[in-house]
Structure 1
Amino acid sequence: MRIAVIGVGGVGGLVAALLARAGEEVVVVARGAALEAIRSAGIAVESPLGVFTQPVAAASDDPGALGAADAVLVAVKAWQVGELAPRLAPLLADGGVAVPLQNGVEAADRLAAALGEERVAGGLVNVLARISGPGAVRHVGANPRITMGERGARAKAPSPRLEALAAALERAGVGARVTDDIERASWEKFMLIEPWGAVSALARAPIGVVRSVPETRELLGAALEEVAAVGRARGVALRPDAVARTLAIIDGVPAEGTASMQRDIGAGRPSELDDQVGAVVRLAAAAQVPVPVHRFALAALRPQEAAARRVIPRFTRT
């Protein structure tokens, strides 16, 4: 199977390397020092699945230069999807499918607006992996798991293209599942990662601290309730105990755990603030659902995001 991976950060780099090691024809879109490192040696991986450096079939900063693929895994940051999406059309073979792997619930819609509904599925990934150097990734914890599903009218029908992709991922050591309700699966993950990132970024503390201090635990629970209310208002079939189930997962996360948005904000890098907290506020306004915790979080974190994006001058955090 010919698979294109867009973005070789922690998620994209790990999945691309594992697929290539398993014998799939993998091409990647990368840039800068990462692109040069991959061209010269391959993707370096440190993982419970192995420590290895894996060449790929081709790497470029131009999606149009790589030729058509059967599947396109989009693993860039959520805020990069809208700008990148129109450039991905040459990568999709007839019958090919693009699958977003971002945190958030809007990436598939952005891809579909540029590529067409029939060429886009929904997707999400669960993994702890991050960049450890140019063209290098470090993975810790459980094996990566990718959940995919067709959207809209195609959701309940068999999906040979996603089943084929899932089989390739499984051969590579990546857990893969095709669901007939990708919207619910996406919102369940969103309920986990978004309140965790938002409240931890506000508290500037790892999840173990956030969940053990009564005030921040209460704030976390309120943020979870808001996300669930917005999802249900949009017709997402969340389970009645979705909030309790998510809190139980959070209580099982290692105490030192941090969310990617929290890490980016803390390091002064552009983050997914607008694609996570901002998405809750936008979607809540459209559904007329009050979300005071999220409105406060967005306002409180906005100066750091604006400084990271050079909208305002950088300032010293105290």
Structure 2
Amino acid sequence: MRSYAIIGTGALGGYYGAKLQQAGLDVHFLLNTDYEYVNLNGLIVESPTGDFTLPCVKAYNDTAKMPACDVVIVALKTTHNYLLPKILPNVVKDDGVVLVLQNGLGVEEEVADIVGADRVIGGLCFLCSNKVAPGHIRHLDYGEIKLGEYVPDYQVVGISERMRQIKSDFDSTGIPILLAEDLLLARWQKLVWNIPYNGLSVVLDALTDELMADPHARVLVEQLMQEVVAGAAACGRIISDSFIQKMLDYTVKTKPYRTSMKIDYEERRSLEVETMFGNPLRAAQKVGVNLPKTAMLYQQLKFLDARNSQKK
């Protein structure tokens, strides 16, 4: 049985880690502010697929006390990646793998610099989930994860046996897992959703349903999506128009959602501006393609993020 370490037990890591433990896997949770509460009380998950409580979990606030695990899931916000050089060497086995479940572009490269490129898998989460109290996760909708092997320069390498093994573990939880042959394409596809909805939810102070209901905001959403597709094409990855329509339909059907970036902004936490906006912009600009609306959104978010940090 593979062991799992969850680095960042929030809305995402807490949900997936709890589902893995519920399915009978050996899971170890690294926590910060919630450590005392979760160590005493465990985790609570509310979900449309069924509420459950784990009264006892293996909780840690120090990686030196954690065992080395087969699969280390990085579920921190990318704004906390500066902590990873101290965390990862302690918790991943010599033959283990780090599964990076983070938003944006280029996040695997940071992890590869720490543990080696041959030990990194990228993951894209399509999950509506919030942490509503210490150790209390409210899963609203979806949950699918798309996995892809990382190699330098994001070459297409296909599907590996260790991806299939991780998929089999998640299959036991009921969480849908897709295996991608091309991690870079998968990351650009996720940005088709993340860039317009996360960015506009902060700048326009709106939930996803409000963005879709207003004709002006919806046009802006679609224009930003088209820019992301152009950025992907500049980097050699083709995304079809039908994928844009799929993301629009997906969002219309989703319950009104406060994006993770909007939550971070309202809680006055640092925003994931660089990995989600800056890195894609720079990747496109490197090959001579400008994304003006995305650049404007990036600049607005940098201003709001800086002003927010001064208010702390």
Q: Shared topology, TM-score over 0.5?
A: yes
SS at match of 2:139: strand
Distance 2:36 2:83 in 1: 23
- Paired with 1:248 and 1:50, the residues of 2 have a C-alpha distance of 25
**Which amino acid counterpart does residue 243 of structure 1 have in structure 2?**
I
Aligned to 1:100, the other structure's residue is in SS state strand
Check whether the contact 2:225–2:244 (CA below 8 A) recurs between aligned residues.
yes
Alpha-carbon offset, residue 11 of structure 1: 0.9
Instruction: Look up the equivalent residue of 1:121 and give its one-letter code.
Output: I
Confirm or deny: 8 A CA contact 1:6 1:76 kept in the other structure: yes
User: How many angstroms apart in 1 are the aligned matches of 2:128 and 2:279?
Assistant: 23
Q: Tell me the CA shift for residue 178 of structure 1.
A: 2.0
Residue 145 (1) aligns with residue 178 (2): no
The corresponding residue for 1:92 is 92
The AA in structure 2 aligned to 1:128 is C
SS at match of 1:121: strand
The letter for the 2-side match of 1:232 is: A
* Aligned positions of 1:10-89 closer than 5 A: 10-32=11-33, 34-55=34-55, 58-89=58-89
Residue 249 of structure 1: how far off its partner (Å) = 2.8
| Corresponding position: 1:123 with 2:123 | yes
* CA distance in 1 between partners of 2:56 and 2:157 (Å): 34
1:231 matches 2:216? no
Secondary structure of the corresponding residue to residue 51 of structure 2: strand
Match of 1:189 in 2: 190
Please tell me whether the aligned partners of residues 16 and 26 of structure 1 are also in contact (alpha carbons under 8 angstroms): yes
Aligned residues: 309
| Aligned-partner SS, 1:89 | helix
Structure-to-structure mapping, 1:171-182, within 5 angstroms: 171-182=172-183
Q: Give 1:188 deviation, angstroms.
A: 1.0
Where in structure 2 are the equivalents of 1:228-307 lying within 5 Å?
A: 228-239=229-240, 241-254=242-255, 256-307=256-307
**Alpha-carbon shift at residue 56 of structure 1 (Å):** 5.6
Kept in 1: contact 2:141–2:254 (CA 8 A): no
1:212-262 alpha-carbon deviations (Å, 9 max, x no partner): 3232222212211221111221122423543333333333333x2232112
Root mean square deviation of aligned Cα: 2.2
Which secondary structure state, in structure 2, belongs to the residue aligned with residue 227 of structure 1?
helix
- Residue segments in structure 1 that go unaligned for 5+ positions in a row: none
- 1:160 and 2:161 matched: yes
The answer on whether the counterparts of 2:158 and 2:182 sit within 8 Å (CA) in structure 1 is no
* Code of the aligned partner of 1:290: N
SS at match of 2:237: coil
Normalised by the length of structure 2, the TM-score is: 0.90
Distance of 2:158 and 2:227 partners within structure 1: 32
Partner Cα distance (1:218, 1:237) in 2: 22
Displacement of 1:157 in angstroms is 4.9
* TM-fit CA distance, 1:3: 0.6
| SS of alignment partner, residue 59 of structure 1 | strand
2:265 match: secondary structure:
helix
- Residues 261, 177 of structure 1: CA spacing in aligned structure 2 closer, same or farther, 3 A cutoff? same
- Return 5+ residue gaps in structure 2 as ranges: none
> Which whole-Å CA distance do the structure 1 matches of 2:286 and 2:82 have between them?
20
Q: Secondary structure at the match of 1:278?
A: helix
Q: Offset of 1:210 from its aligned partner?
A: 1.9
Q: For 2:259 and 2:186, how far apart are their aligned partners in 1?
A: 19
Query: Alpha-carbon deviation of 1:127?
Result: 1.4
Q: 1: CA distance between counterparts of 2:51 and 2:244?
A: 37
The answer to whether the 8 Å contact 1:17/1:55 transfers is no
Distance 1:113 1:56, change over 3 A: farther
Matched, 1:112 2:112: yes
Structure 2 CA distance for aligned equivalents of residues 65 and 240 of structure 1: 49
Structure 1 residue 88, shift from structure 2 partner? 0.4
Report the CA distance between 1:97 and its aligned residue: 0.9
8 A Cα contact 2:201 2:262, kept in partner: yes
Q: Which amino acid aligns with 2:243?
A: A
Q: Percent identity?
A: 27
Q: In structure 1, give the amino acid aligned to 2:118.
A: E
Asked if the contact 2:14–2:137 (Cα under 8 Å) also holds between the matched residues in 1, the reply is yes
